[in-house]
């Protein structure tokens, strides 16, 4: 991932230094597990720990240089670790293991830690949306379907629905974390041919993972589930950002992104305050969905394994998790800082809509008066068309229409936005985590 979209805490998890350090910990824990089963002397395990090499940039460089000879990065890693620990104790490193035992278990441990950050940041986004929902649930705004004026809703209803969606994403992320928090140390094709299952259990327990049956590799549907959780979060953020973009349009003007002191919206036009962050989130969501496609392609491997997934994962897993956290932090800032314009929203609702948002209320009032639905629909439809064509207020046309035999009180009730929003509290009541 390019530095622009790389949160340092997540990037550090996927650094070569952390990758080799985690692999080394798996190797040392495996040795401890072997000692517990009496396969190697316990005092030699203590020596392994005491001689544990420091995993730094210099170590990574040495592995890279060794790989030029082995053409196998894990073999190069094992060779270097054994050399630094020294013999005879170093011979116990990688005893009974295959490369994927170490690589897969270490990768799952790293992804699990990254998913903890994802869940934390997704919760922050949900809470930011929740706070905005509670503060703006009584602020009317024009609801739109097909991009056209429909009926009144509230800002708070919009925020609440986004918060509920992110909460579902959090549940998906938690499930994905459970799915990926696994490990395997079962040998070349997963049959424990040269290592006792108790060693696997020991290592996984120390790492906070669950041992699972596997071939040579852990099943890749687990990794795909993580990528789906990231893509789902990205799509939810895109949906929120797209709403911001629409509400920020000049013709609408009902919300806008926060605009910092000294910020420039355009290099050419000083008046511009473009929704650039929202547009960025929409664009990056596409990237996350692309990573999911790659992850799904990784699930089907030949027999007990092939290596076609490996090169893909080295790119998509770190990138997807870094990008997801980056987007979540930006989306949380957008949700918290979004500038609402309730006065413009009321103007659009009451004036610019010509009152057409109340057409269903008039229709139902006519039905209640005894008119057939089709007759009532035709009357209201004709009045609405006339209002749009002549730019006349819809209520004035209804009140002047001799076919509309409704009292002033009934008409006033039909055009009462508060009546239509009487149940708006239900949206924030659904945010049960905020109680």
Q: Tell me the C-alpha distance between 416 and 409, whole Å.
A: 11
Q: Report, in angstroms and rounded to the nearest whole number, the Rg of the chain calculated over CA atoms.
A: 30
- Is 309 annotated as catalytic? no
Q: One of 193, 266, 372, 407 is an active-site residue; which one?
A: 266
DSSP letter at 145 equals: E
Using alpha carbons only, what angle is made at residue 175 by residues 171 and 181, rounded to the nearest 5 degrees?
140
Pair 273, 245: CB distance under 8 Å: no
Give the C-alpha separation, 222 to 295, whole Å.
10
Which residues, 6+ apart, have CB-to-CB distance to 23 below 8 Å? 74, 77, 102, 103, 106
The DSSP result for 345-406, as a single string, is: HHHIIIIITTTGGGHHHHHHHHHHTT--HHHHHHHHHHHHHHHHHHT--HHHHHHH-TT---
Task: Look up tokens 């429909």; give the residue.
Answer: 150
- State the Cα–Cα distance between residues 207 and 199, nearest whole angstrom: 13
d(CA 85, CA 91): 9
Catalytic residue from among 50, 146, 267, 271: 146
To the query of whether residue 146 is one of the catalytic residues in this protein, the response is yes
Helices (H), 249-307: 276-297
Q: How far, CA to CA in Å, does 411 sit from each of 141, 360, 377?
A: 21, 12, 16
Q: Which residues of 6-39 are buried (b: 16+ CB within 10 A; e: fewer)?
A: bbeebbebbebebbbbbbbbbbbbbbbbbbeeee
Q: For residue 46, what are its two tokens? A: 């203590």
* Total count of residues recorded for the chain: 435
What is the rounded CA–CA span in Å between residue 118 and residue 169?
10
Q: Which of 346, 343, 344, 351 is nearest to 391 (CA)?
A: 351
Q: Helices H, strands E: what count in the chain?
A: 18, 6
User: Rounded distance, CA 197 to CA 191, Å?
Assistant: 9
Taking alpha carbons only, the member of 153, 137, 122 closest to residue 230 is: 122
Q: If 0-12 CB within 10 Å is exposed, 13-18 middle and 19+ buried, where does residue 4 land?
A: exposed
Catalytic residues: 146, 266
């Amino acid at each position: 991932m390019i530095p622009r979209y790389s949160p340092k805490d997540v990037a550090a998890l996927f650094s070569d230094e952390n990758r080799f350090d985690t692999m080394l910990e798996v190797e040392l824990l495996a040795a401890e597990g072997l000692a517990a089963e009496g396969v190697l002397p316990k005092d030699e395990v203590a020596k392994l720990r005491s001689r544990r090499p420091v995993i730094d940039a210099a170590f990574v460089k040495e592995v890279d240089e060794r790989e030029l000879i082995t053409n196998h990065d894990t073999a190069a890693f094992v060779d270097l670790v054994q050399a630094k620990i020294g013999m005879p104790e170093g011979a116990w490193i990688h005893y009974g293991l295959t490369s994927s035992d170490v690589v897969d278990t270490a990768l799952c441990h790293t992804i699990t830690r990254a998913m903890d950050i994802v869940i934390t940041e997704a919760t922050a986004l949900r809470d930011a949306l929740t706070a905005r929902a509670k503060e703006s649930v009584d602020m009317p705004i024009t609801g739109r379907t097909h991009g056209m004026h429909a009926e009144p809703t509230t800002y708070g209803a919009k925020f609440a629905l986004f918060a509920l969606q992110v909460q579902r994403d959090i549940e998906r992320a938690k499930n994905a974390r459970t799915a990926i928090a696994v490990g395997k140390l079962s040998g070349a094709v997963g049959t424990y041919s040269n290592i006792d299952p108790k060693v696997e259990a020991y290592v996984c327990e120390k790492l906070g993972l669950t041992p699972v049956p596997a071939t040579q590799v852990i099943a890749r549907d687990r990794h795909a589930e993580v990528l789906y959780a990231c893509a789902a979060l990205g799509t939810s953020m895109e949906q929120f950002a797209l709403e911001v973009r629409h509400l920020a349009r000049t013709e609408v003007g009902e919300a806008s992104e926060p605009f910092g002191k000294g910020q420039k919206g355009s290099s050419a036009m000083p008046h511009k305050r473009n929704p650039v962050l929202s547009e960025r989130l929409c664009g990056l969501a596409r990237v996350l969905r692309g990573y999911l496609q790659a992850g799904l392609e990784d699930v089907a491997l030949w027999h007990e394994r092939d290596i076609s997934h490996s090169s893909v994962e080295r790119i998509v897993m770190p990138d997807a998790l870094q990008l997801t956290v980056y987007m979540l932090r930006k989306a949380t800032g957008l949700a918290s800082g979004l500038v609402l314009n309730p006065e413009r929203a009321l103007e659009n609702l009451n004036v610019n809509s010509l009152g057409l948002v109340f057409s269903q209320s008039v229709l139902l009032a006519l039905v209640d008066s005894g008119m057939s639905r089709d007759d009532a629909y035709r009357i209201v439809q004709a009045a609405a068309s006339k209002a749009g064509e002549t730019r006349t207020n819809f209520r004035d046309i209804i009140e002047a229409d001799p076919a509309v035999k409704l009292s002033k009180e009934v008409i006033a009730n039909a055009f009462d936005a508060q009546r239509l929003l009487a149940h708006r509290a239900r949206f924030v009541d659904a945010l049960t985590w905020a109680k």
